[in-house]
Structure 1
Amino acid sequence: MEIEDHYALLLGIHSPWEISSVDLDMASSRVDIEVEYADTSGVCPECEIMCPKHDDRERRTWRHLDTMQFATYLHAQLPRVKCKDHGVKTVEAPWAAKNSRFTLLFEAFAIRVLQASRSIEEARKLLKLNWHQVEAIKRRAVERGLARRDTAPIKYLGIDEKQFRSGHQYITNLVDLKQGRVLDVVEERKEAACKALLEQALTPAQREQVTAVALDMWKAFANAVEDQMPQAVIVHDRFHISQHLNQSVDQVRRAENKQLAREGDNRLKGTKHFWLHNDENVNLAHREQFDHLKGSNLKVARAWALKEHFRPFWDYRSKGWARRYFEQWYSWAIRCRLEPVKKVARMLKAHMDRLLNYFDHRISNAAAEGLNSKIQTVKSNARGYRSFEGFRTSILFHCGKLDMLP
């Protein structure tokens, strides 16, 4: 077999394209392949009708997979055809995507390397590319994946926020709770941003088919859901509620620790994480110390007990019994004389109906929180992002479960 035929077979190149020459440069460890178009007509990329050839574009170069560790490049002049309906158009190269300077096989390999690499820098070095080239491959991969994403019904959604930069700059992400994938991301956490997120991530039919949405008590998110998906039930996320209760316990601890320290009592020094754990998760090495503290007359011990006694609320099987339990817990919480706890209790009371929706649709943002951890890893490995678009591309690349290969 001639070397030209060998490469034509490997690259999947066939008539009217043909390989005219293969040049091996041992000194620079490089292989250059010349491809020519041998026909007087071609297919219009718009209407796919055969049209007469008009002329040739300037010579272009595409990076291909290495040949035995030799960098391999394809060179060709793409022909232009003259279509009676669409004018002069460039014929598409069968070995590369439009506007790409890499072959489809190289892009597929690069995507797999990026998915497996800890950071872009590591992938860049392995692929022998610069940062902009790697980002372009990622961007095209995500665009390809989003274009292929199906429009099947999505029953349960989760909306959550993630800090993008310091100074209260956030992003909002939309999660398919059943499949554990990020559907899309927008900048900010305002109502308008959340509405735009729902519009760009879901088709009108998909929005109509959503049954329930898990979110925290941020009013902007609830307003956006009610506006875009009025039929969907809002379920306040149990993990965010636990977070509010933990924060109230920590506020009580900090205030009490300052008061005790002024009196020379350091019992609460270094105990922050004791009170934020559930009882069964306290480290065995600190069990005796914590048992003594939680059984004392400290204010934080009362706050912690209230937090722990809220947990059985989620175990009920019916709304009626859950409501009765909440009313008993609320009566205790509102009389505890601990203002941070009372504040959270009032907030939960005000959102009671959406808390009770959990017993009809047992969903939470656990999947979203897990994806947030993955997003944080992506962000840390990249040492941060200069632009939101770059951050969004990386999130969808690693967390969108997209079909991105050419």
Structure 2
Amino acid sequence: MNNLNEHYRVLLGLDESWTVSDVDLQLEDNSVVIELSHRGGPLTCPECQGSCGKADTAPPRSWRHLDTMQFKTEIRAAVPRCRCARCGVKTVAVPWAGKHSRFTLMFEAFGIRVLQAAANVSRAAALLDLNWESVHTLIERAVARGIDRRTLDEIKHVGIDEKSLGKGHDYVSVLTDQDHRRVLDVTKDRTIMATDELWQTLSETQRNAVESVSLDMWQAFMTSTSKNAPGAEIVHDKFHVSKYLNEAVDKVRRREHRELKSEGDERLTGLRQLLLYNEENLDEDGQVEMQILQKSDLRTGRAWAIKENFRHFWLSADSESAGEFFRSWYGWAIRSRLEPIKTVARMLKRHLPGLLSYFRHHVTNGLAEGFNSKIQSIKSAARGFRSFANYRLRILFYCGRLNLLPEIPCH
């Protein structure tokens, strides 16, 4: 027995049915090709696991393996095909690779870890010396494997949020499991039909076990949720409310800024970002700026004060005291004569039950907002996605907390 061949047989963890017949070092292209041969004997049907005889041998094929030092390494073998009385002629399974894979299990596992560490597919592809299509296949197989292994029991709190697909108004809807901090699935668009599809990720029994759903005030999300998880309470959280109030303040600022500038008054110049901050997050200069604004007679200062005051709603002891606070705040907002603020106040009043349910569940879409940041990084690294399917795969790969690695048999 060639010592080098036996050395590689042990390293590859081959069982007794396979042997290394040759190791070919190809210096011209810095590669090593390991030839494997089947020893013969009874074969196992890959479908029913029954014992059967040999039909013929498939043409030789190659699998990318872990590099041997600086040398790119491939395994090459002609795999026997069995004749099964039940399943017909089938190519037998090989112990070093999964079905229809062009990579060995060890290389797949390594590639997945590189992708997870790099968080940038182009850089990972360069490190692995793979083209984009091969990396995409690796991700696709990993996600399919992870979804097949995933359990969806004991999910009580979920979130639904939107994320832009590319430029313009193309969106995807994202379902998150807040109990286990993972993305469950992604659908294209943010319609009732798309949200219905998202809910089908869970069985009827699992949907009936959901207690709360944290989501935006987008009507399609609410309609679909009421239909698919009728026992769950809809919770509107502070992240979305803060977004709406900040947008209202900015509308007031923009209109007033145009009016002031036409008269040569620059008091609102440079305040756009400052107005987005919560009061306690302002630095010393920012606090001075806002104190000056509050003492002025500007509409923007009143709008910011109303926005800031609403944050006390979330500090209420319970839903009853929160309801009392809202009634007082709502009166202030409606009497403000600031139309953008009044519009948001009326919207919040229409959705008050969803705001008050926060005090029963104390869940927010903060997890979804956190995933939004990660998803944005994924999109930026890819310079956008033209394909929804690819976008979904990447989100599930990086945010799904899936068990992605292949099982490598021990011998």
Structure 1 residue 40, shift from structure 2 partner: 4.0
Deviations 1:240-284 (A, max 9, x none): 011111111111111111111112211111111222211111232
Structure 1 residue 95, shift from structure 2 partner: 0.4
CA distance in 2, matches of 1:51, 1:75: 24
Structure 1 residue 288, shift from structure 2 partner: 1.9
CA distance in 2, matches of 1:310, 1:154: 31
CA distance in 1, matches of 2:153, 2:322: 34
Task: Tell me which amino acid in the other structure corresponds to 2:77.
Answer: A
Structure 1 residue 120, shift from structure 2 partner: 1.4
Name the SS of the counterpart of 1:272 in structure 2.
coil
Paired residues in the alignment total 405
Task: Tell me which amino acid in the other structure corresponds to 2:343.
Answer: K
CA distance in 1, matches of 2:336, 2:28: 81
CA distance in 2, matches of 1:21, 1:395: 42
Q: TM-score, normalised by structure 1?
A: 0.97
Structure 1 residue 118, shift from structure 2 partner: 4.3
Name the SS of the counterpart of 2:273 in structure 1.
helix
Q: TM-score, normalised by structure 2?
A: 0.96
**Alignment RMSD (CA, Å):** 1.2
CA distance in 1, matches of 2:110, 2:144: 17
1:4-403 correspondence runs (5 A): 4-199=5-200, 201-403=201-403
Deviations 1:346-385 (A, max 9, x none): 1111111111100101001001000100000011111112
Name the SS of the counterpart of 1:122 in structure 2.
helix
CA distance in 2, matches of 1:290, 1:320: 32
Structure 1 residue 178, shift from structure 2 partner: 2.4
Structure 1 residue 336, shift from structure 2 partner: 1.0
Task: Tell me which amino acid in the other structure corresponds to 1:396.
Answer: L
Deviations 1:185-222 (A, max 9, x none): 111011100110110x2233221211100001001001
Deviations 1:1-56 (A, max 9, x none): 82222111111111222221212223332211111122243111111111111111
Task: Tell me which amino acid in the other structure corresponds to 2:259.
Answer: Q
CA distance in 2, matches of 1:286, 1:227: 46
Name the SS of the counterpart of 1:85 in structure 2.
coil
CA distance in 2, matches of 1:288, 1:320: 36
8 Å CA contact 2:166–2:386 kept in 1: the answer is: no
CA distance in 2, matches of 1:143, 1:317: 45
Identity of aligned residues (%): 48
CA distance in 1, matches of 2:84, 2:30: 42
Q: Which runs of 5+ in 1 are unaligned?
A: none
Structure 1 residue 179, shift from structure 2 partner: 2.2
Task: Tell me which amino acid in the other structure corresponds to 2:360.
Answer: D
Task: Tell me which amino acid in the other structure corresponds to 1:231.
Answer: G
